[in-house]
Amino acid sequence: QVQLVESGGGLVQPGGSLRLACAASGMLFSITAMGWYRQAPGKQRDLVAAINIRRTTNYADSVKGRFTISRDNAKRTVYLQMNSLKPEDTAVYYCNSDPPYGVWGQGTQVTVSS
């Protein structure tokens, strides 16, 4: 079955950077569009970045110019480079296909605070 394992979160000061990684299994990764989603406390889970099989990327307006999504098909891994982090980026970050499968990983917590 589909398994998604996110890593790389942590506590960072405003203006800092983090790189998230998500290892996927149980899917045909190289022909699956992937996305990074985030969910802040009390809010719905939203798509923030997506990459299709041609490596075309799309971003939510709130992260455009600061976040970069990429993929390594050989490693079945999708990445999210996050720069110039803001307190409002604080959330649990998840990866999944785009649109998402019903199965989610445990996510990785990103906290931006001084």
Mean pLDDT across the chain: 96
> What pLDDT score does 44 carry?
96
Query: In a structure prediction context, what are the per-residue pLDDT tens digits for the chain, which is 114 residues long?
Result: 899 999 999 999 999 999 999 999 998 998 999 999 999 999 999 999 999 999 999 999 999 999 999 999 999 999 999 999 999 999 999 999 999 988 999 999 999 999
Of the candidates 96, 103, 106, 104, the one whose C-alpha atom is nearest the C-alpha of residue 32 is 96
Does residue 41 have a cis bond before it (omega within 30 degrees)? no
pLDDT at 102 (0 to 100)? 84
- What does DSSP assign to residue 101? P
